[in-house]
Each structure stands twice: as C-alpha cells, then as structure tokens.
Amino acid sequence: MPADKTASMAEAIASIEPGSTIAAGLALEHAIPFAAGHELVRQGTDDLTLVGPISDVLFDQLVGAGLVSNVRAAWTGNVSAGSGYNFRRAVEGGELDVENHSNFSIALSLHAAELGVPYLPTRSLLGSDIAGEPQFRITEDPFEGQRVVQVPAIAPDWTFVHVQRAAPTGDAHLWGNTGVTYEAVRAADNVLVTAEEIVDPEVIKSDPSRTRITREQVTAVVEAPFGAHPSPVAGRYNRDNEFFLEYAEATRDEGGFDAWADEWIHGVESRAEYREKVTRDLSVREPTTAAEVTYGQ
C-alpha cells in the first residue's frame, strides 16, 4: 500500500531546517507556491537560499521577512511594477548575497543536478556580463576547441511546487506553463507539493502521461486551495493583477512590508480566511478544455 504523504501546511514547513536551499516559482508567473512561502514567514525559517528563474514577489516577501541570506536567480522583483522593494533594499544595504543567472543557466543548473553531473556547458552566456560571475567557468570545448561556459549544478534541499491536483501518495498533475518545475523536482532532495485539491488516486491514474511528479520524488503533500494567489493557476483562477500593484505600493517604503504581512500573512488563520479577503472575481469564465485522450488496455 503506497504511503499517505498528506500533511498540514504547518507540519510540512516545520520539516524544513534553517539554512536550507529552496527552489520555487519554477513555472515563471504561473502557479507560484505563495501559501507555502507564507508559512515559512509564520514559522520564521531563516538563513534560506532561494533558487528560481523569474520569481516574482514570492522571493521579495521572504526577503522582506528577513529569512533569506542568498538568492540564486535570473530576476527578482514584481512583474507588474518592476522593482521588488524588499529585495532592492536588502541588496543595496549589503544584507543579501546574489548569484546572477539567466533563465537558461538556472535551467541548466537544475538539469545538471537531476542528471547527477557537476556542470553542463553552454555558449548562450558568452558575450554577457553574467559569464563573468564567479560561479561560472569559461573553458575550451575539448571536442571542437570553442569557448563554452560551465554552469554548475544546483541541487536544492527542497523544491516547492503548486499543482492543480495530487493524490495522497504524492502523484500529481500540473498543466499550463511548467517552466523548469520538473527539472527542479528531480534535482531536489525533498519535494513539497501543494495542491488545489487532493483527489482519489484513480483520478491521477486516469491520465498517466500527465503524472510527471511521482510519489517517489515527493516528501509531503498539502491541500492548499487558492494556494498560488496572486499568481494564476491554469483552469482554476486568473492572475490578480491589481494585487501585485497594491503590494508594490504597500512595500515601497521601508517598514511597509511588516504592515502588509501583518494583514495578509500573520493576520489570517487559514488559506480559506485569506481567500475571503480577496474580493475580486478571478474565476475562469471561459475554460478551454483539451480534446479527450483515450487509453486502451
């Protein structure tokens, strides 16, 4: 009988030790695991290294809470408003180490870790300032004699992913943009899956080709409806564009984040209570359904 990996959000996050490396925001603007990030803030899990491509404001929130010592990312900010003000203040104040990447080099770093190799080569960084960052090495390709950049592997302690549905065993379905989610899942020591709903395993078995996050990769599964707000989840709810703008205004000045977090993180007892505070209609009004797929026996 497969193990039941369901847990409460508090239980799952309590397993994460200070000093951990966490990969999140891996589907770019889609399905960002904000609910899991907010529980990190509540529990004060600090000295974190955050890994991701375009992380949007989740990383900014964790930085604002004083939990982050290092960011290894292609970009950190607010897609709707430009700067992530907490991140900017921390960098300018010398409180945060930043390892600059391109989106592709983050993908290569995670892919190298999932393959179990120390690095992967690329030519895409040549000619950019990023190639001169200390984590990279410029060397000569032994086969063709051309210059390449060696991109080192990144193996997170934890990868956070938010999905539409998961079974209690950890098998999960994610559709829509997935970015580098699957690379990060396979690269990590542990995977936390937060899901809009936990479903019967037969639902997951009904579409095996979509089950690219599987039980042996997953440490814990948490049911977290609305767990990616304000980012969108394909087929469930749309992006809350106004929320991103409101967050930017609220955190523009130093000290603003604490007041914002008191309302939206510490001031809610559950994700359901958080959901009640969001008054905008973000429902998907004209769902697009994929054509039926038939599996035979």
Provide the whole-model pTM: 0.96
User: Is 82's pLDDT higher than 90?
Assistant: no
Give me the pLDDT at residue 56, please: 86
Q: Where are the beta strands (DSSP E) in the chain?
A: 21-23, 48-54, 68-75, 97-100, 119-122, 137-140, 147-152, 158-166, 172-173, 190-198, 220-223
Categorize the per-residue pLDDT at 54 as very low, low, confident or very high, splitting at 50, 70 and 90.
confident
For 84-114, write each residue's pLDDT tens digit. 999 999 999 999 999 999 999 999 999 999 9
d(CA 249, CA 137): 40
State the average pLDDT for the chain: 96
Angle at the Cα of 84 from the Cα atoms of 81 and 88, rounded to 5 degrees: 135
Cis preceding linkage at 287, omega within 30: no
Categorize the per-residue pLDDT at 297 as very low, low, confident or very high, splitting at 50, 70 and 90.
confident
Tell me the domains of the chain and their CATH numbers. 9-114+154-272 (3.40.1080.10), 119-152 (no CATH)
For 158-196, write each residue's pLDDT tens digit. 999 999 999 999 999 999 999 999 999 999 999 999 999
